[in-house]
Structure 1
Amino acid sequence: MKALWHDLRHYLRTDYRPDLYGATAAWLLLLLAVNYSLDLEDSYIDIYQGRPIWPVLYAGLYALCYYGSVWLWTHFHQRADLWQSRDFWLRSSTALVCYSIYSGFYGHVALSRQLFGGEVFVFLYYCLHNLQSVLTIVLPLYVFYRLVDQRLNPSAFYGMAPKRKGLALYALLLALMVPLITLASFQPDFLASYPTYHDTGANAFFGVPEWVTALVYEFCYGWDFVPTELLFRGFLVIGMSRVMRGPVLPMVVWYCAIHFGRPLGEAVSSVFGGYLLGVLALSTRSIWGGLLIHIGIAWGMELAAFLQKAGR
């Protein structure tokens, strides 16, 4: 654990500048203010759901957030040469295309209607919605890795190799969340949103106990955090660190933007969580700790809600 705190202090010493961090905070506040005052994502982007322009609009939003923060970093660190880097543009544009298609993907809807005659459409819709990242994020990044980065680092696919370094700290952070999740589970608004699994009659259709379909859904639900960590902490931090000395701050701004359709508090908290996980991923060269926290919290919230509703 001492090594991680040493790495965190070292990163702050090399990357932290009051003017850069202040300007980035102001940029984030502006983005948050515009989104939540205009209801930008829900009212101006998601109204095109299912149309070809939908992922294009997401690409515009994410490009503005990410490249704006990169410009701030290059300006205050006097690294304008980054904009002439072919590797930077290749990596950033790959990430932008992948996540924009992922955000605006709609192919799973038609497939859900076709499978089993659409009789279990709702169950399949939510499962396939969480699994579509295999095609939109994981597979493209793996192809990129094989074609571009494997020769540089043949042993790790953007932090997917498990590392023991930092697991104790990650486990401690997750343990600290348990009482918070427990307290939250007593709140009506929490139980109005969780568990995200709902009885859709799929278990009766397949002739299995409901816990089986619930388990399948929860596996798919947990999987959706894998591509998030892979792209943001793996590709945009570990992968981008080969061409950019300070990849964490721009990643954080984009990571905050993917929470624009959620409550303001969740978007704000993603800034601090994203920064910590980004620095830790850079230190450990692994995203497994972030996965442990992300999936642990998600499943913990599901379990807490199940237990609360079962006790009523």
Structure 2
Amino acid sequence: MKTLWRDLRDHLRTDFRPDLYLSIALWAALLLTVNYYVDLEDSYIDTFQGDPRWPVMYFALYATTYYVSVWLWAHFHHRPDIWRNREFWLRSGWALLCYSAYSGFYAHSEWSRQLFDGQIYVFAYYCLHNLQSALTIVLPLYVFYKLIDPYPSSFYGMAPKRKGLILYAILLGLMIPLITLASFQPDFLASYPTYHDTNANEFFDVPEWVTALVYELCYGWDFVPTELLFRGFLVIGMSRVLGRGAVLPMIVWYCAIHFGRPLGEAISSLFGGYLLGVLALSTRSIWGGLLIHIGIAWGMEIAAFLQRAGN
């Protein structure tokens, strides 16, 4: 654990510049203000749901958040060569295409109508919505890893490593009281639990906890591609180009994918994304991030379930 804290200290010593970090904070604050003031994602971008322009709108949002952040880092570190680096454009462009396709994917809606003649449409929709990342993120990243990446050492941190797992477990434990406190807030209960009774258990003639478990497993899976892309591909993979500078642009984009969530969750994603990014760079593994990410997600689900049961 001491090794990882030393790695975090070393990262800050090497990468931290007050002007850069302040500029990134102001850029993130501007994005948050615009989104939550005009409700950019929910009231505008998501009106294109099912339209071919939907993933294009997400691409524009994510490309803006990411490339402005890279520009800030390159400016303060005097690295104009980044913009002439073919590998940078290839990696960043591939990541943007993958996540924009994931965010604007809607074929699972039709699949849900066809499955069991649409009798469990809602349940199938939410399960397939979480599973579609296997097609839109994991498969494209694997193709890049096998056919394009010039440095194929491991699949972007997917190789299991024990380093740091104790620290990750401690960090997860520290989140429990915060999740408990958040579960008493109205905006939290408006978003969680993400599972809702769909009568799928009646269709399959099983207890509801069975369909809830199936849903939660699908929900948990969806965090694997998220960690793979943001901490694996955009930090471990992109560090070949940006070095330690891969972390800051990643966290601003990572914050943007939380624009449809409560404001507090979007803000906390900046700090959580930074810590997970630095530790992923240190350990060259995303397994600790998966432990925290899935643990927090399921923890929020459980807390919301308990609140609903108590009320």
1:202-236 deviation digits (Å, cap 9, x = unpaired): 11111222221111100001111111111000000
Q: What does residue 24 of structure 1 align with?
A: 24
Distance apart, 1:181 and its partner CA: 2.2
What residue identity is the alignment partner of 2:177?
P
Q: What does residue 262 of structure 2 align with?
A: 263
Q: What does residue 76 of structure 2 align with?
A: 76
What CA distance in whole angstroms lies between the structure 2 residues aligned with 1:105 and 1:84? 32
Q: What does residue 297 of structure 1 align with?
A: 296
Q: What does residue 164 of structure 1 align with?
A: 162
What residue identity is the alignment partner of 1:116?
F
What CA distance in whole angstroms lies between the structure 2 residues aligned with 1:32 and 1:274? 16
Distance apart, 1:185 and its partner CA: 3.4
What CA distance in whole angstroms lies between the structure 2 residues aligned with 1:275 and 1:204? 43
What CA distance in whole angstroms lies between the structure 1 residues aligned with 2:33 and 2:196? 34
Distance apart, 1:257 and its partner CA: 0.9
Moved over 4 A (4+): 186-189
Q: What does residue 181 of structure 2 align with?
A: 183
1:66-92 deviation digits (Å, cap 9, x = unpaired): 000101111111111111111100000
Instruction: Report the CA distance shift for 1:27/1:274 in structure 2 as closer, same or farther (over 3 A).
Output: same
Instruction: Report the CA distance shift for 1:295/1:95 in structure 2 as closer, same or farther (over 3 A).
Output: same
Q: TM-score, normalised by structure 1?
A: 0.95
What CA distance in whole angstroms lies between the structure 2 residues aligned with 1:159 and 1:295? 16
What's the C-alpha RMSD, in Å, of the aligned pairs?
1.4
1:117 aligns with 2:117: yes
* Stretch moving more, 73-82 or 18-27: 18-27
What residue identity is the alignment partner of 2:210?
V
* Percent of residue pairs identical: 78
Instruction: Report the CA distance shift for 1:215/1:92 in structure 2 as closer, same or farther (over 3 A).
Output: same
Distance apart, 1:260 and its partner CA: 1.4
What CA distance in whole angstroms lies between the structure 1 residues aligned with 2:86 and 2:6? 32
What residue identity is the alignment partner of 1:46?
D
For the residue of structure 2 that corresponds to 1:50, the secondary structure is: coil
What CA distance in whole angstroms lies between the structure 2 residues aligned with 1:71 and 1:194? 36
Q: What does residue 205 of structure 2 align with?
A: 207
Q: What does residue 247 of structure 2 align with?
A: 248
Distance apart, 1:308 and its partner CA: 3.8
For the residue of structure 1 that corresponds to 2:148, the secondary structure is: helix
Q: What does residue 217 of structure 2 align with?
A: 219
For the residue of structure 1 that corresponds to 2:36, the secondary structure is: helix
What CA distance in whole angstroms lies between the structure 2 residues aligned with 1:309 and 1:44? 31
Q: What does residue 280 of structure 1 align with?
A: 279
Contact 2:227 2:290 in 1 (8 A): yes
Q: What does residue 236 of structure 2 align with?
A: 238
Matches within 5 A, 1:134-149: 134-149=134-149
For the residue of structure 2 that corresponds to 1:273, the secondary structure is: helix
Q: What does residue 85 of structure 1 align with?
A: 85
What CA distance in whole angstroms lies between the structure 2 residues aligned with 1:18 and 1:311? 46
What CA distance in whole angstroms lies between the structure 2 residues aligned with 1:93 and 1:188? 38
What CA distance in whole angstroms lies between the structure 1 residues aligned with 2:301 and 2:228? 23
For the residue of structure 1 that corresponds to 2:72, the secondary structure is: helix
What CA distance in whole angstroms lies between the structure 2 residues aligned with 1:26 and 1:191? 29
Q: TM-score, normalised by structure 2?
A: 0.96
Instruction: Report the CA distance shift for 1:307/1:28 in structure 2 as closer, same or farther (over 3 A).
Output: closer
* Stretch moving more, 27-36 or 58-67: 27-36
1:76-128 deviation digits (Å, cap 9, x = unpaired): 11111111111100000000000001000000000001110000000000000
1:145-195 deviation digits (Å, cap 9, x = unpaired): 01133x6343x2101111111111110011111122233334555444332
1:63 aligns with 2:79: no
- How many residues in Structure 1 have an aligned counterpart in Structure 2? 310
For the residue of structure 1 that corresponds to 2:242, the secondary structure is: coil
What CA distance in whole angstroms lies between the structure 1 residues aligned with 2:187 and 2:16? 38
Structure 2 unaligned spans of 5+:
none
1:240-268 deviation digits (Å, cap 9, x = unpaired): 00111210000011111111122221111
Instruction: Report the CA distance shift for 1:262/1:195 in structure 2 as closer, same or farther (over 3 A).
Output: closer
What CA distance in whole angstroms lies between the structure 1 residues aligned with 2:29 and 2:301? 31
